[in-house]
Amino acid sequence: MKRFNSHLALVAGLLFTTLSLAHADGLNMAKALSDAFAQIAGQVQPSVVTITSEHMMKHPALSNRDGRGPSQDSPFYWFWGPDNNRELKTTSLGSGVIIDADGYIVTNNHVIEKGENIKVQFFDGKIVDAEIVGTDPKSDVALIKIDAKGMKLKPIKLGNSDKLRVGEWVLAIGSPFGSELSHTVTQGIVSAIGRSSVGLVDYENFIQTDAAINPGNSGGPLGNLDGELVGINTAIASRSGGYQGIGFAIPVTMVNRVTSDLRTKGKVVRAWLGVKIQNVDEAMAKTLELESAYGALVGEIVKDSPAANADLAVGDVVLKVNNEAVKNSRTLMNLIAAKHPEDKVTLTVLREGKQKEIKVKLAEFPEEYNLAADTRQQNDETLGMQVQNLEPKEVSR
């Protein structure tokens, strides 16, 4: 009996020791992760800025239409002024990230679009004026610049969003709800990549994250655990108007492509194929004998376009661009837009049940052509919730 009790005590002691060691290991891992987050936050925060810009807008509460505001017979009518003069100054608030020691800062187009008197506030509280270098509403990317003479700016390190994996830890930094909460840091994971049916802008390839982002985070960085920029936070999907665990960031590879053009040319120059396309649905896939609904169906070819000068035909289903798979029409748009005019690409298409390779020399996207649909109005139907930019506004007279 004594021998049995001795063995039992030994087993219990070993079990307790094992559990203690496991607890210690788990605690050490948690502390290491906590230290990593703190180190990365301290590394990235000085590269993040708060951006304000002023806009003039009519305020509906001051309108005398539909019974709002004083009527023309009211003694207060001329105090308020004629309807055309009833404008208020609004201040848009957002975030940005320094990408160059010369003073170049990336943000969202919707943060500074049609704005004046743009101000940038740094981590140390210093506020300086900024000017717009260029904007790209089609991707919601904008580039602004400050006079960095005499300033020691800390540009963020640029990562590679093409290497992101679902499940990776990420940090979001910005100014939710204004400068009073500037440089707020939140953490989460990459929930998905390649989101292209959000319905927010024309060219979409969003990173989806559950890192908490709120109004004011627009234009701020999404960083990885190496302290590198992997995305620019731009929108949330929400039924309530607030954060619900679904945020979207523009991948840094797209940001780099856009800002490079804005910096050197003042505008974004995209390649053009010259086709009108649509997604392949399940019924089409069955008719075309595809394994699943993927690819982009050519519905129309624009006259004198690169597609018209190649062997592309109406009814072709584009499956690949230079061996990169075309999931849907959005994917094809993004792949072509990422190229440069005069680039040559090889399209793999399905025609009459057989795959065929077609070489096409791309051209510059003509200014007179616009996308057929306003994608920014489609997100409610597509996602079942509203996708909105992260831009709080303060109104003052």
The helix or strand, by DSSP H or E, that contains position 97, with its residue range, turns out to be strand 87-98
* Fold exhibited by the domain 157-268+384-396: Thrombin, subunit H (2.40.10)
> What is d(CA 200, CA 389) in angstroms, rounded to the nearest whole number?
9
The pLDDT of residue 108 is above 90: yes
What integer pLDDT is reported at residue 341 of this predicted model?
A: 92
What integer pLDDT is reported at residue 245 of this predicted model?
A: 83
The pLDDT of residue 48 is above 70: yes
The pLDDT of residue 387 is above 50: no
| Marked catalytic residue, from 110, 182, 191, 202 | 110
Homologous superfamily of 271-364 in CATH?
A: PDZ domain (2.30.42.10)
Calculate mean pLDDT across residues 188-206. 87
Least confident of 19-28, 260-269, 310-319, 348-357: 19-28
Query: Is 161 a known active-site residue?
Result: no
- 320 versus 385: the higher-pLDDT residue is 320
Do residues 212 and 142 touch, judged by C-beta distance below 8 A?
A: no
pLDDT in tens, 7-28: 555 555 555 566 565 666 767 7
> What is d(CA 327, CA 145) in angstroms, rounded to the nearest whole number?
37
What integer pLDDT is reported at residue 82 of this predicted model?
A: 55
Where exactly are the structural domains of the chain? 45-60+78-145, 157-268+384-396, 271-364
Calculate mean pLDDT across residues 27-54. 88
The pLDDT of residue 81 is above 90: no
Do residues 208 and 247 touch, judged by C-beta distance below 8 A?
A: yes
The pLDDT of residue 135 is above 90: yes
The pLDDT of residue 58 is above 60: yes
> What is d(CA 211, CA 224) in angstroms, rounded to the nearest whole number?
12
Query: Is 23 a known active-site residue?
Result: no
Query: Is 183 a known active-site residue?
Result: no
| Marked catalytic residue, from 53, 161, 218, 305 | 218
pLDDT in tens, 109-128: 999 988 889 999 999 999 99
- CATH class, 45-60+78-145 region: mainly beta
Mean pLDDT of the chain: 81
Q: Which of 348, 382, 370 is nearest to 195 (CA)?
A: 382
| Marked catalytic residue, from 53, 136, 140, 161 | 140
Q: Which of 196, 201, 53 is nearest to 138 (CA)?
A: 201
- 57 versus 334: the higher-pLDDT residue is 334
45-60+78-145 and 271-364 share one fold: no
Confidence class for position 236, pLDDT limits 50, 70, 90:
confident
Do residues 210 and 223 touch, judged by C-beta distance below 8 A?
A: no
